[in-house]
Every structure is written in C-alpha cells, then in structure tokens.
Structure 1
C-alpha cells in the first residue's frame, strides 16, 4: 500500500488548483470532480471520501463552516469506510487526496496510512471575498467576520497539525511566475512531471482582491507564519 499525498489547506485557497496541477503531473486522485460552477476545472475531490469527512464532522456536531477547535476522533466504522473507499486508489503507484476538511479529520488517515503532506494558503482578504461571493451565488449570506474566522480556524489548524512534520507549502495568488516555479519544485519533489503539472494552471483559476497588502485583524501572526513555511 503506497503512502497518499494529502493536499491540505483552507477552502478557496488553491487546494483545487494544486490538486489539479499534481494530478496532471501524474498523481492519481481517482474519479474526481473536474468541472464545477465555482471551480473552473473542478474541485478535484473524491466525493465518497469528502462525504465521509462531512459525516465525521456532523457526528461531532460540526460542519465545514463551523469547524472544531482541533482534530476529531474517528469511530471504527469510519476507519473501515476510509479503507473501503480508498482501496482501489491506494493501489496506484502515486496517489493523493484533496479536501479542506481533511485538516480536522486526520486521525483516520494517520491510522490507516502513512501520509505525505503538501499545503497551500492564500491571502485572507482573497479567501474572504471568495467565500462571500460563493455564498451569494448560492443565495446565502456570509458575514465578513465569519469568513475571516474560518480563515483563522483552518489555517491555525494547518500550522498546528503540520508543526514538526515534513510539509511543503505554496502560496496561492500573487506573482504567477513565482507560483508556477513553486509548483514545478513540488512536482519534482514528489516524483511527478513538473512540465505537465505547470501546464494545468490557468490564470482564469484565480481572482485576486486588490488590497492584498492589508491583513485583517487577528490574521497577522498566522499569515506571517504561513509565509515563513514556504521554503
């Protein structure tokens, strides 16, 4: 059984783009979504496992937009479900999985596998704008404070979980050349085809907010630490 590469990061933070790039480079993701209204090339998520994460969150009284303060425990039935739903994929030479919820559902993955990790992050204002825009498209509302708090919760968990673990980070957004160079580095590091990985990227995948130098209150320390992890 080969070790999965888990693609970690907050919602609307480039996880789909990173997953797509690595998949194009040769990482097997399974039968993932390749087209979606709010992801021009799909969210690249394996639906059955994403739904399992949702069930685990719900069992403990949480959801993607009301996350727990730390990682959650898995029941034996959930552990078995993960084994069953990844059985075929885990036979691939190089395989991975992407879902922002994974950050709060790591116990099962670490019980069944010995994962490798790659992480992506994005400026809080860009994430907030994207979350609120998507909510509006769904005929829902999300307050800026809620979007900010979600950015904090997910990225704090990302930093806490990966502390002491070998994890490669990439910043999504900003200078395109720097981003693509980093994608090439990551693909090479994980034994994938760098040229094909970079070829997946399209500038249409990202919409940045102009005010990316200002960091919202409460996000500053996390933002600085995330940037320091890119090395």
Structure 2
C-alpha cells in the first residue's frame, strides 16, 4: 500500500488525525507560524470548535462529495474496496481540488490542508499531489481514543465501539499510505502543554522552515492555545473487545512514534491485519446496510454544507439567535 514520494518542489503539510483529535487546535497554531490555510475556512461552532475548524471549505466539500460518490461518509466504519481511488466517479472532484490548490496556494511558500476525511482518502490525495508536483509532509496528531470517544458521544451519540473503529481506521490507513514521506508524530496532550517545544520539533523532523519562527510566534500561540481546548480527558474503560484491544495497541504504537520518530512498520502491519480480520467477521447484510446508509448520509452532509454556505443561512443568523434567546430550538 506504499506510495512513492513525488518529485515535487512545492511544500504542503497534511494534518492527520481522527475527528475531535486536536487537529483544529494544531492547525490553528500552524497559522500563527505563517502557514497558509487559505481564506475560505469553515467557522467553528459554539461549544464544539469555538475557535474554528481551520478546514478549507472548498477542499472539505470536495472530500465530502468524493466520499458520497463512493457510497460512503465521514463516519463510515468499513475498509475501502480495492483500488477505490481509481474510480471514474472521483475524477471531477480531483479536478476541483487541483483548481482550488492552484488558485489559493500557488504563491504560498508552505501551506496546509486539514480535514480528517483526508485520512480515509489519502491514496487519492497522493495522486493529486503528484500531478501538481507537490511534496507532502505529514503531521500526525495523536489524541487518546477515549477522549475522542467522549467527544463523539456528546456530539454525535456514538458508541465506544464505533468511535474506536473510526479512530483506528483513520490512523491505520493514513500511516500505511504516508510511509514514504516525511512525517512527524505529535501527542496532543504534550502539544497543549508545550506548544513551542513541540512545533520546533516538528519543524526539525520535517526539515522545513516556518515563515514565522516559533519564537516570534509565541504571543500568537499563547493567545490561541489554552488548556481548555482539551475538552475531554482520558478515562480508561473496563470494557474489552477485539476492536478496543486493537485501538489500545495502535494508540501505544503511535505514542511511541512521538519519541522514536516512526512507528514500527511490522507492528503496524500486524494491527492492519487485525483490522481486516475484524471486518471480515461483519455479516454481509450489515455491510450492505452500512454502505447504503453511508451514501444517504453523504448526500445529506453535502446538502447541509451548501445550505450553511448560502446567503440565506448567513442573513438568517440574527433571526435564529433571537429565536434561541426566546427559548426556541432552531
């Protein structure tokens, strides 16, 4: 599953991590260092990502639509089918992404893309990077699967088993496909405690120079980052299952890579094989139902994306705010 490094000259940082894993805080900190994120970013939601998602809205929308074309969605717990990134249905979305990259980052010395969906779409994105002669570098943001589960449970009502499956799939797939590229692994808890130290380590590990030095960015980092960004603390669960055991082992391997530089590839391959074994035990009817539901949910997500970016949505914000003050759930 390895991809060869493209002979690119442009630098792009790819932020890797599961939803609710601290990638927004990490990417916001990169903006303090002068890394270009583009101008069309999704805004945050109160109580969820107050300071912003730092996702390029056009790129995130294209990812959502690509997933929908695959009969999938952001919370799909199934492994992808073989050579899925070669499917013709994805061609127009790849063209859109290339267009946005050329338009928004042509003059950027270093830019970043942050969208957890990229973890599940990485071989497709690697072909896009290769066609644009872009050399990607990867920043893996590692947050406890328990903390991610607590956040997803609160926001989406997910079970621990589903949250852990998603957590593992995001990191396993991204790790497999990024092996031939420069990578840095960041423990989110350590990053929140010592952001300057961790960003300096990332800079050295990836062999890059941020447009603004970590030292000069300190005031921005101190203003942006705070311990309250770590909304959910880790709490171990007495529950046990093949999925939970796999996720715990994967978490430890990735944390080890923070200090060692890279995870053990043989260990990661063994965990990948365990994931395949777990999924091979899914009943066929369940798999068919998940794929059917994923397509429906993906289309709903695309509709919501378009609605929330429409003028009617923006102009209606004051009315919705007043109605909420009046006690109406809108």
For Structure 1 versus Structure 2, the TM-score category normalised by the shorter chain is 0.7 to 0.9
Task: Answer yes or no: is 1:61 the counterpart of 2:81.
Answer: no
* 8 Å Cα contact 1:72-1:107 kept in structure 2: no
- Superposition pairs of residues 1-231 of structure 1, within 5 angstroms: 2-31=10-39, 32-37=41-46, 38-70=48-80, 72-73=84-85, 75-91=90-106, 92-113=108-129, 114-135=135-156, 141-173=157-189, 176-187=192-203, 189-192=207-210, 193-195=213-215, 196=217, 198-199=221-222, 200-211=224-235, 216-230=244-258, 231=261
* 8 Å Cα contact 1:7-1:15 kept in structure 2: yes
Superposed CA offset, 1:81-130 (max 9, x none) = 11112222221121111000001222343223232211101111001001
Q: Which moved more, 1:112-121 or 1:203-212?
A: 203-212
How far residue 9 of structure 1 moved from its aligned partner, in angstroms, is 0.9
Query: How far apart, in 2, do the equivalents of 1:58 and 1:9 lie?
Result: 20
Structure 2: gaps spanning 5 or more residues: 1-8, 130-134, 262-330
Query: How far apart, in 1, do the equivalents of 2:78 and 2:105 lie?
Result: 28
Change (3 A) 1:67 1:52: farther
How far residue 212 of structure 1 moved from its aligned partner, in angstroms, is 5.4
Q: Which moved more, 1:209-218 or 1:168-177?
A: 209-218
Query: How far apart, in 2, do the equivalents of 1:126 and 1:178 lie?
Result: 19
Q: Which moved more, 1:32-41 or 1:78-87?
A: 32-41
Structure 1 or 2: larger helix share?
2
Query: How far apart, in 1, do the equivalents of 2:100 and 2:77 lie?
Result: 23
* Other structure's SS at 1:217 match: helix
Report what 2:266 is aligned to.
Answer: none
TM-score normalised over the length of structure 2: 0.62
Change (3 A) 1:52 1:26: same
Root-mean-square deviation (Å) = 2.5
* 8 Å Cα contact 1:187-1:194 kept in structure 2: no
Superposed CA offset, 1:173-223 (max 9, x none) = 257434552123224653122132643312121123252598943312211
How far residue 17 of structure 1 moved from its aligned partner, in angstroms, is 0.8
Query: How far apart, in 2, do the equivalents of 1:224 and 1:171 lie?
Result: 11
Query: How far apart, in 2, do the equivalents of 1:46 and 1:118 lie?
Result: 17
How far residue 76 of structure 1 moved from its aligned partner, in angstroms, is 2.5
Aligned residues: 226
